[in-house]
Homo-oligomer: A and B are copies of this chain.
Amino acid sequence: MIIVIRPKTQKEQLDKLKEKIKKLGLQIHESIGQNYHILGLIGDTRVLDLSQIEGNRIVQKLIHVGEPYKKANRLFKPEDTIIKVGDRAIGNGEFSVIAGPCSVETKEQVIEIARQVKSSGADFLRGGAFKPRTSPYSFQGLGQTGLEYLKEAKKETGLPIVTEMMSPEMVEKYADDIDIIQIGARNMQNFDLLKKVGKLRKPVLLKRGLSATIEELLMSAEYIMSEGNEQVILCERGIRTFEKFTRNTLDLSAIPVIKKLSHLPIIVDPSHAAGLWWLVEPLAMAALVVGADGLMVEVHNDPANAKCDGQQSIKPEKFNNLMNKLSKLKESMR
């Protein structure tokens, strides 16, 4: 941590600040240039109340040298984290695939899709029972009934279930039925929800917020981990930019960056990123080659009648085709 001192600061005020810092057990390396004056702090700077430093009128700015996350930091845990779900795993060097409809609509639909994606090689079944929608007038999901259908699909196919939870109460009620709890992009900084899933001991799939930096995503993972649950899977799903042709801009550079900064597994959701079904295949393949641990993809057997996200869902045959291409690609990269 480096503190830049405002020019023409009075010695007395500076001494007060330095004393305050030293009392917290930190060392100070002071550098005075021609035009600049900085304090470099050595030690565990998490003891500092940053806003108190920043609020000090003699402080021009704070510069962070290290990362503010600890449990998610590869510096402190160099080996990759592997998340186990039954006999499956994410982060073990394989490329795990989560597939299924945007929302659960009928029992038949979800079971049929589950069977199809399983036969194509998917490892997990996704499906929304509770849907966060921008408009209150859009379909909000089947709720608990949707969850029941997912469970039946799991019974039929053996595929573990990934589904979104939107509030601490929901987690309370339904967590037991779910194999991987998804936290949506809009809830990435719903801190009460993060703390709640942090108290569980089951995998959490944390999606990057629409305008969240990589560091903020890792800080949200840190929230979950600091409550004791270290089974966090990250998910890149596109960020908001000025480009409007695609719904969001998929940030594939984030994959190798996160692999460097953190030991947590990271998967990619090309369906939500692009918002266009014909972009799913190329982006999924790109996700594999940049080093993602897996994929989350929307598959629907009748997109023109899907209750949500029809324009970004691919049909089961397309999905099967994609799985074949991914497998060939994986083979070539060994």
Cβ of A89 within 8 Å of any chain B Cβ, yes or no, is no
Please, what's the 1-or-0 string for A237-270, where 1 marks a CB less than 8 Å from any CB in chain B? 0011111111001111111110010000000000
> Measured between C-beta atoms, what is the minimum distance from A307 to chain B in Å?
7
Number of this chain's copies in the assembly equals 4
Segment at the B interface, from A111-119, A133-141, A149-157: A133-141
Closest B residue to A76 by CB, please name it: B35
Q: In the complex the two chains form, is B239's CB within 8 Å of A253's CB?
A: no
A94 neighbours in B (Cβ, 8 Å): none
Q: In the complex the two chains form, is A51's CB within 8 Å of B136's CB?
A: no
> Measured between C-beta atoms, what is the minimum distance from A68 to chain B in Å?
6
Closest B residue to A192 by CB, please name it: B167
Please, what's the 1-or-0 string for A124-149, where 1 marks a CB less than 8 Å from any CB in chain B? 00000000111111110000000000
A226 neighbours in B (Cβ, 8 Å): 136-137
Q: Which of A28-57 touch B at CB < 8 Å?
A: 29, 31-36, 38, 40, 42-44, 46, 49-52, 54-57
Closest B residue to A167 by CB, please name it: B192
Cβ of A273 within 8 Å of any chain B Cβ, yes or no, is yes
Q: In the complex the two chains form, is B36's CB within 8 Å of A29's CB?
A: no
Q: In the complex the two chains form, is A55's CB within 8 Å of B304's CB?
A: yes
A54 neighbours in B (Cβ, 8 Å): 310-311
Q: Which of B63, B137, B309 contacts A51 (CB 8 A)?
A: B309
Q: In the complex the two chains form, is A134's CB within 8 Å of B216's CB?
A: yes
A166 neighbours in B (Cβ, 8 Å): 190-192
Q: In the complex the two chains form, is B310's CB within 8 Å of A55's CB?
A: yes
Q: Which of B65, B66, B186 contacts A189 (CB 8 A)?
A: B186
* Chain A to chain B contacts (Cβ below 8 Å), 15 pairs: A33-B65, A34-B44, A50-B138, A55-B304, A135-B222, A136-B191, A137-B226, A167-B193, A186-B191, A239-B249, A243-B254, A246-B253, A328-B333, A329-B333, A331-B332
